[in-house]
């Protein structure tokens, strides 16, 4: 029996303007910019990672900002909503903050047991701020002006849009997620335990059209593997019914990928080694970090990347 998958590890999406993306997630949502690196498959473009103070699994939202990306539109076989967890009592804070920042949002109301605010990031990516009572203690970003008690804890979960249930439900069940509630055509799956990002909602719509990936689209969602040996056990289990890639070294974690039968790209990423691998906790995200095989080209890469300014409050030197 493999170690259970407790929830999401990270969500990766596509953005356009890197500065605008960085400003929104650090200055408006108050996440920490935990890693400034490049797309390992396209080192002339950035890969940004945002999260809690440490970039803990279950809190990590990552972006490929492609300055000229045209806007995508969501369709079947895609992750259509990414939801963050905050305390229920913090929703008034978030309403006020979004108003002050001139971010349009909608009070979506109660869904199952939780209150939901819905908003879009500057590229049109649909986000939810989910207020509920059993939130985790924060590992609040030291760089943010959001008071720790109101800080985004990490993911609540994601919503997938699917035309049919069979393959997707079976895959989630194989991964240890069970249907815990449903409301209309929304089916909520949850992993055992209370880890961040342990909710996967599936909306079934047989008429849903195909989307187009672009800015504002979620590229893939990654689930957590406890370590390398657990990942290999899952590779074996999942390979019985799905086409799974070999393990790939993503520097900060190790990954396998597969497409669930409805079309959403899933990844299983290891918790270790994490973002402290190549820079100290105090200065995460402040300078460009490259994997060893790109380090020889550091200066050229830095020269061609768009210039960005991290306006986050930097921690004072000890």
Positions in the binding site for Zn ion (CB under 5 A): 12, 222, 267
Q: Are 18 and 24 in contact (CB under 8 A)?
A: no
Which residues, other chains included, contact 283 with Cβ-Cβ below 8 Å and sequence gap of 6+? Answer: none
**CA nearest to 123, candidates 67, 58, 50:** 67
Report the alpha-carbon distance of residue 34 to residue 108 in Å, rounded. 30
Neighbouring C-beta atoms of residue 101, cutoff 10 Å: 12
Closer of 12 and 144 to Zn ion (Cβ): 12
CB of 250 to Zn ion, least distance (A): 7
Cβ proximity to Zn ion: between 186 and 250 the closer is 250
Minimum CB separation of residue 57 from Zn ion in Å reads: 12
Which residue, 15 or 28, has its beta carbon nearer to Zn ion?
Answer: 15
Task: State the minimum distance, in angstroms, from the CB of residue 247 to Zn ion.
Answer: 13
Q: How far apart are alpha carbons 49 and 61 in whole angstroms?
A: 6
Place of tokens 């259970």: 4
Q: Least distance from C-beta 222 to Zn ion, angstroms?
A: 4
Nearer to Zn ion, 105 or 223 (CB): 223
Query: What gap in Å lies between CA 168 and CA 185, rounded to an integer?
Result: 14
Closest distance between Zn ion and the C-beta of residue 284, in Å?
Answer: 18
- Locate 32 and state its tokens: 């920490």
Give the containing element (helix H, strand E) for 165.
none
Indicate the pairing of strand 265-270 with strand 218-225: parallel
What's the closest the beta carbon of residue 220 comes to Zn ion, in angstroms?
A: 6
Q: Which lies closer to Zn ion via its Cβ, residue 77 or residue 138?
A: 77
In the bound state with Zn ion, the residue whose beta carbon lies nearer, of 76 and 221, is: 221
């Amino acid at each position: 029996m493999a170690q259970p998958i407790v929830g999401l590890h990270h969500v990766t999406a596509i953005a356009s303007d890197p500065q605008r993306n960085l400003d929104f997630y650090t200055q408006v949502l108050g996440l920490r910019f935990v890693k400034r690196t490049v797309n390992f498959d396209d080192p002339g473009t950035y890969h940004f990672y945002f999260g809690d103070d440490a970039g803990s699994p279950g809190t990590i939202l990552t972006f490929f900002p492609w300055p000229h990306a045209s806007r995508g539109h969501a369709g079947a076989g895609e992750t259509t909503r990414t939801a963050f967890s905050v305390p229920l009592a913090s929703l008034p804070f978030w309403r006020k903050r979004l108003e002050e920042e001139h971010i349009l949002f909608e009070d979506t109301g109660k869904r199952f047991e939780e209150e939901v605010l819905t908003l879009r990031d500057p590229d049109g990516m649909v986000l939810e701020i989910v207020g509920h009572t059993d939130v985790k203690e924060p590992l609040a970003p030291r760089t943010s002006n959001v008071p720790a008690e109101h800080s985004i804890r990490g993911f609540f979960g994601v919503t997938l849009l699917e035309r049919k249930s069979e393959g997707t439900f079976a895959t989630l069940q194989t991964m240890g997620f069970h249907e815990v509630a449903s409301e209309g055509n929304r089916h909520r799956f949850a992993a055992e335990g209370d880890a961040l990002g342990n909710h996967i909602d599936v909306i079934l719509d047989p008429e849903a059209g195909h989307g187009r990936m672009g800015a504002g689209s979620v590229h893939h969602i990654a689930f957590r593997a406890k370590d390398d040996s657990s990942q290999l056990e899952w590779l074996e289990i999942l390979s019985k019914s799905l086409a799974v890639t070999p393990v790939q070294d993503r520097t900060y974690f190790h990954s396998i990928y597969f497409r669930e039968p409805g079309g959403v790209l899933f990844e299983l990423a290891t918790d270790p080694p994490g973002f402290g691998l190549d820079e100290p906790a105090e200065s995460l995200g402040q300078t460009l970090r490259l994997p060893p095989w790109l380090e020889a080209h550091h200066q050229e890469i830095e020269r061609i990347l768009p210039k960005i300014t991290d306006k986050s409050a930097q921690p004072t030197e000890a």
